[in-house]
Amino acid sequence: MKKLSIAIALLTLICACNKKQENTDAKVIGKPEIQVQDGRFTPEVMWALGKMGEKAVSPDGKHIAYTVTYYDMEANKGNAEIYLIPSEGGEADRLTTTSSSEFNLVWKDDETLLFCRDNDIVAMAMKDGRETVVGTVERGLEGFKLAPDGKSVVFITTKPVVRPGHLEKLYAGLDKTTGRINEDLMYRHWDNWVDEYPQIFLADFDGKKVDVDNAVCLIDSTFECPMRPWGGVEQFNYSPDSKKIAYTCRKKTGYDYAHSTNSDIFLYDIEKNTTRNLSEGIMGYDQNPVFSHNGKMIAWESMERDGYESDKLRLMVMDLASGERTDMSTDFDYNFVNISWTDDDKEILGVVYYRGTDQIFACDRATKTFRQISYGYHDVHSFELVNGKLYADQVSMQYPSEIYVYNLSDNKGEGKKVSAINDDVLSQVRMGKVEEHWITTVDGKKMLTWLIYPYNYDSTKTYPALLYCEGGPQSEVGQFWSTRWNFMVMSGAEYFIIAPNRRGTIGFGTEWCEAISGDYGGLCMQDYMRAADFFADSVKQIDKERLGACGASFGGYSVYWLAGHNHDVKGYADGRRFKALLAHNGMFNFEQQYLETEEMWFDNWDLGGPYWDWNNPQIKKSYANSPHLFVDKWNAPICVIHSEFDFRIVASEGMAAYNAAQMRHIPSRYLYFPDETHWVLKPQNSLLWHRNFIDWFDTNLK
């Protein structure tokens, strides 16, 4: 139950597969031809768009290399290729044409681009496109970084989990058994069985060959670096003199790992072969270290409390000589991520989740004051500073990832678009209008709620509306673009969408975020009902008797909870606020969920602990809001979606909810994916998901 925007990066990572496989299908997937009918943005149009994965600006600032993934629906897969454009914008040149995906773009110099393909690190000469394999990692390559002096690389690969001897002997002669024996926790995580773990290796590089055979592992024991499931190359960095490496690691396994978020920043001295813990005593997540240009300081993202994965992400800075640590964001009540330093080290740049959008901010190191650089209805995912310009990967509810440029001196600048990955398709589409509303909650606070209009909006007509329930729960309804929940697809299906930033969302200060923990059935649910009622009553083009609700993860739980509190509602003809519901991978039975999930710290924090601790008033309150306790009140058609490889909220939760609806003779539908995770990522599965979504609500609301 993390930010849904993370699914965007995860999808790119999966498509850019990091394990070498037999390539039995040599077909190169290219950009599809598509004609949009009637300006409607459909799921089919969405999957025809190119998906930008990552970008890298050349050292001289003249060019931007980036990857784009296109998808073949018949083949049910996609693959990424590398493109190059001038940094000021212009025609894009395609640099690769292969049946494998390229990823992890790194400029060696202005004339040479390094990247990963399968298990290889490849060097491409810009003058003629000639490629040379400079290193091969047989176990699989997940990414790498090049030292500033160009003489070494740090790469990510995996090691297999080794069974202890007393269990290994049980497998003697059983090479075909599929049985798993576990004696500890964290044997599976999010969407994978923990059969291997990632670690970082340091290898010499002479400019022509990476000495993989003699690479040195920097992590002791069986600890992860980077941390699963989200971590990548951002979790480690070289010092400017290439003599030290700072990395993120949670030095815990099994039961301890499942109950703690206490990761640390470690500093490895290459010459001395010594390691120092820089964040010792800070009990929450510490991650993503970045050195200042003068090498004297290091900054990272830091959480204060152990077990609270959604604690405020502080900007922590350490003076490496004195060891003094400074929280730069004590007076700044927002998360600060994707850290980088200005060339003079006077400011620290980052992305801030800010009031329903993700913007670039700068922190003045001397005064600890923050200024906003980017502005507008968009989310900045990441950015790179080169020669005073900020090259950002940016999306909104109305467009997928494109590259925008800001100036370091900007004060709430709008940015300049320099890429045009999907302009030819999007120029044929009529996107639904997006409005920002601040509505008053039941306790008198102001809540940002986005209202998205049907693509063919006609003020003389009425339309059905969908309440969108956000996952997380401590995430944000920002200006995201996704192939999972896409507001423009819903708009193209002729719906209004009501998308509240209810209690628990980030970007509105610590108090607003923390109001949800231990109160899943409280103000956050009142926020949803208040938003639905407000727009149903105030927008005459919304037919309040054709209102639905949908959501995933915590949003799926929200739909189940709303289903049990959908009776005797004033102002609705039959006392039902919602006439149709759809829940994806949601929590249904809290007691069941507590014992089936893997990251125990989450339920320990947000629910208060195990359900058997009945002497704890918080436990009684939390578990009393389990949706399965209110099934007797269900009175609206409900569609349940769940996936087998969701180890965060396991498939039995969805099956139980669907079975409950069936046994109560509630009109219901169950869409089950045996090969998907907490997300639906395979193209054909996603298309089925979207077609089912539209059909379900059309059937019950139109």
- What is the number of alpha carbons within 13 Å of residue 351 lying toward its C-beta? 19
557 by Cβ neighbours in 10 Å (0-12 / 13-18 / 19+) ranks as buried
- Vertex 244 angle, CA 238 and 245, to 5°: 50
How far is residue 274's CA from residue 97's CA, in Å, rounded to a whole number? 43
Q: Which one of the listed residues 63, 378, 678, 690 is annotated catalytic?
A: 678
Distance CA 82, CA 488 (A): 27
Read off the DSSP letter of residue 682.
S
Task: Tell which residue, 462, 506, 151, has the closest CA to residue 335.
Answer: 506
Torsion over CA: 454, 458, 464, 465 (sign):
positive
Which residues, 6+ apart, have CB-to-CB distance to 433 below 8 Å?
A: 452, 453, 457
Q: What is the 3-state secondary structure (H, E, C) of 356-411?
A: CEEEEEEEECCCCEEEECECCCCEEEEEEEECCEEEEEEEECCEEEEEEEEECCCC
Q: Strands (DSSP E) along 61-167, which ranges?
A: 63-72, 77-86, 93-94, 102-109, 112-117, 120-125, 131-136, 143-146, 152-160
Within 10 angstroms of residue 201's Cβ, the number of other Cβ atoms is 18
CA distance 374 to 358: 9
Q: Detail the DSSP E strand segments found in 431-470.
A: 434-440, 446-452, 463-469
Angle subtended at Cα 555 by Cα 553 and Cα 556, rounded to the nearest 5 degrees? 65
Kindly name the residue from 553, 626, 668, 686 that is annotated as catalytic.
Answer: 553
Name the active-site residue from 646, 668, 686, 690.
646
Alpha-carbon distance of 364 to 366, in angstroms, equals 6
3-state secondary structure of 504: coil
| 357-364/496-500 β-pairing | unpaired
Helices (runs of H) and strands (runs of E) counted in the chain = 14, 38
Please tell me whether residue 524 adopts helix, strand or coil conformation.
helix
Show the 3-state SS of 567-603. Answer: CCCCCCCCCCCCCEEEEECCCCCHHHHHHHCCCHHHH
Note the helical H segments in 104-144.
Answer: none
Has 553 been annotated as catalytic?
Answer: yes
Q: Does the CA dihedral 251-255-257-262 come out positive or negative?
A: negative
Which residues are catalytic, by number? 553, 646, 678
